[in-house]
Amino acid sequence: MIYKFLWVCLASLALSACQTASKIERQNTSSDLQKSSEEVDIDTVEADTEQLGFIDTVPPIDATAEEEEAIKTEPVIANSEPKVPEDIWERIREGYQLNLDIDRPRLSSQLRWFSSHPSYLDRVSKRGERYLYYIVDELEKAGIPTEIALLPIVESGFDPFGYSHGRASGPWQFIPSTGQMYGLDQTWWYDGRRDIIGSTQAAIAYLTRLHKMFDGDWLHALASYNSGEGTVLRAIRKNRKAGKPTDFWSLDLPRETRAYVPKLIALAKIIKNPEKYNYSTYFIPNKPYFDVVNIGGQLDLAQAAEMADVSIDEVYLLNPGFNQWATSPDGPHRLLMPVSKAKQFRTKLAEIPSKERVTWVRYTVKAGDNLLLVAKQHNTTVNVLQDVNKISSTMIRVGQELMIPVAGNKIESYTLSSHQRLLAKQSRAPNRNRIKINYTVNSGDSLWLISNKYGTNSKTLARWNNMGLADPLIPGKKLVVWLKPKQSANSTRSVMKKVVYTIRSGESLAVVANKFKVSINDIRDWNPKVGSKKYVQPGDKVTLLVNVVGG
C-alpha cells in the first residue's frame, strides 16, 4: 500500500510539472512572436529545475479509499539505538553462545545445589562486582561466549586470593607452569596469577587456543582448561577407538572435570532465567568499577590507599597480585583504583617526588649479620637489597651502610599482604576445642611425615597453612597443626577445655600429666618446643586439653 501511495504522489508531481512546462512553452512562443526580428538560440536555453520539479512519465494510479485510510494509519518506525543494559547480568545474557538446552543428571544435580544456595550466589556475586565489567568487556572483544564470565565462580568463587591444594592461584586458578607459559610472573613481590588484568588476559588467550585446538567445541575446551588438553585428547581417542561418541558428556574424564563443565552450564542457566529457579540476581551496574593508573615505579600500598581515600583492603582487592606492602620494583607499574577515586589519586601522586613513594631506612651492618638475615628483618629480599645498594654478591662487612625500603606503616596494617593472610589463616581454628600446635619444619620433613605424626592428612595440613601439596617445605618454616582432643575411655561424656599451665619448681612432664589425667606423649605432641627438651624448667608453659567432666 505504501508503494501505491508513492506512485500516486509521483503521478501528481508529473501532472503538475507537465502543466508548468506547457505554460512556459506558451510564454516563450508569445515572446518569440514579439521578437520576430531576432533569432533565438534554443541550445542556450536552460531548464529551471527548481521551477519544473521532477518529471516522470509513469501514469497516475488512483488509490482506493481503503488504501488511503491504511496509509494514514500506517505506523512510523523510528531509527533508535539499542538500549544499553543497566545490569551486568543482562549484558552477560545477551552474549550467550553455548547450548544450554541440555538435560543430564550431572547438570541437574548442580542446578539443585546452586538453586538451593542463593546466599552463596549472592556472596560470589558481591566478590565479583569489582571485576565482572572488565571480564565481560574483554570476553566480548575476543568473541568468547559471555557464559565464560561465570568461570571464576566455578574456579575460585571470585576469590582473588584463592589457592588450591594443587597450587592453582587467583580468580582463574592458574597453576605455576601454565601461568609462566602465559607471561604471569611469580616473584616474592608479585604473583601475576592473581592480577585481575594479567590473569584475565591469560585466561582468554588460553581458552582461545583450546577452542581452536578442539575445532570450536567449547565444552571440550572448558574440560581441558580444568584437567589439561592431554587428558581430554586421550579420552577422545579412547572413545573414537571404541566406536563411542566423543562429545563431552560421553568422555571418561576425571571426577572433578566431569562436574566442572556442568557447574558452569548450571550457573549460566540460572543467570539466564533466575525466576525459574526462585532466585533474584544481585544487581551489579553495567559500568566500569576501576580505572587503571600508571604509577611509574614502586609505591607503598598504604600510601596509595591514603592518597586515593580508600581502605588498604580495597587497594589489595583491586590489586591482589601484589604480595607485600608495596608494588613490585620490577612492575607492573600500575594500580587499579575505583573510578570515583582515580582522578584524586592521579593528582596526589603527581605531587609526590619518586623518592618519597617508598620509605627508606639506613642500616649499619653488625657483627654476625648476613644479607639474608638483614632482608628477613626488614621484610624484603636479598635481590632487592642487592639492586638498591649495587651489591653484586651476598658478602657484606661490619660497619657497611645499607639503604633498605621498608613499609611506611606497621606491617600488621597491610592486612591482605601475603604474610598477613597466612597468619590469619593459621589463626582460624577449624572448629571448637582444637589445640593449636606451632611446628617448625626440620630438614627431611614432608607434609606426609608431619601430618602422620599428628594424626591428620597432608591435604588438611596444607589447607591449615594455605599451601599446595607440592609446595616446598623449607627448614625453619612455621606451620600450625590443629589437634583433636582425645576422649577419655572411662568417660562417656567429655567437655574439653584448653589450659595453659606454668611448670613449677620440682615438677616434670610426668607430674603434670598425672595431675591433669593426660599422657606425657600428648603433652609432647601439644607442645613440640617444650616436649623436645630433656628436662623442663620452672616457668616453662605448656598447653593442655583437659576433660573437665571426666575428672
Dump pLDDT digits (tens) for 508-546: 888 888 888 888 888 887 887 776 777 888 888 888 877
The Cα 124–Cα 426 span in angstroms is 23
Question: Which pLDDT score is estimated for 3?
Answer: 46
CA 57 centroid distance within chain: 69
Count of other CB atoms within 10 angstroms of residue 195:
24
SS (H, E, C) 269-285: HHHHCHHHHCCCCCCCE
Question: How many CB atoms within 10 Å of residue 529?
Answer: 13
The grid coordinates of residue 100 equal: 544450554
Q: Torsions phi, psi of 300, nearest 5?
A: -65, 130
Q: Would you state the pLDDT for residue 72?
A: 52
For residues 386 and 404, what is the distance between their CA atoms, to the nearest angstrom? 10
Q: What is the DSSP string of 327-360?
A: --TTS--EEEEEHHHHHHHHHHHHHS-GGGSSEE
Say what the pLDDT of residue 430 is.
83
For residue 448 the three cell numbers come to 606426609
C-alpha cell at 489: 575411655
pLDDT at residue 88, as a whole number: 98
Contact 333, 295 (CB under 8 A): yes
What is the C-alpha to C-alpha distance for residues 535 and 530, in angstroms, rounded to an integer?
Answer: 9
* Residue 411: C-alpha distances to residues 230, 357, 377 (Å): 44, 17, 12
Nearest 10 degrees: CA dihedral of 517, 523, 526, 529?
A: 160
Produce one character per residue of 467-476: b if its CB has 16 or more CB atoms within 10 Å, e if not. bbeebebeee
Q: What pLDDT score does 30 carry?
A: 42
Q: Are 169 and 191 in contact (CB under 8 A)?
A: yes
Cell numbers 501505491: residue = 4
pLDDT given for residue 50 in this prediction:
37
Report pLDDT for 334.
97
Nearest to 170 by CA among 150, 147, 199, 190: 199
Residues in the chain: 551
d(CA 95, CA 255): 29
Q: Where are the alpha helices (DSSP H) in 188-324?
A: 196-213, 218-227, 229-241, 255-272, 301-308, 312-318
SS3 call for 364? strand
CA separation for the pair 79, 389 (Å, rounded): 66
The pLDDT value recorded for residue 524 is 82
Confirm if 185 and 170 have CB atoms less than 8 A apart. Answer: no
Residue 547 — φ and ψ, nearest 5°? -85, 105
- Are the C-beta atoms of 150 and 284 separated by less than 8 Å? no
Nine-digit cell string for 318:
583491586
Map out the domains of the chain with their CATH numbers: 88-277 (1.10.530.10), 290-356 (no CATH), 360-406 (3.10.350.10), 429-483 (3.10.350.10), 494-549 (3.10.350.10)
Q: Are 501 and 517 in contact (CB under 8 A)?
A: no
Q: What is the pLDDT of residues 369-401, one digit of tens each?
A: 999 899 888 888 888 898 889 888 888 999 999
Which residues of the chain register pLDDT less than 50? Answer: 1-11, 13-15, 17-61, 63, 71, 489, 491
> Would you tell me how many other CB atoms lie within 10 Å of the CB of residue 221?
25
Nearest to 201 by CA among 182, 221, 174, 225: 182
Q: Are strands 496-502 and 541-547 parallel, antiparallel or unpaired?
A: antiparallel
Annotated catalytic residue 155: yes
Helix (H) or strand (E) holding 497: strand 496-502
pLDDT of residue 35: 39
Annotated active-site residue in 155, 314, 351, 507: 155
What is the dihedral sign for C-alpha 91, 92, 98, 103? negative
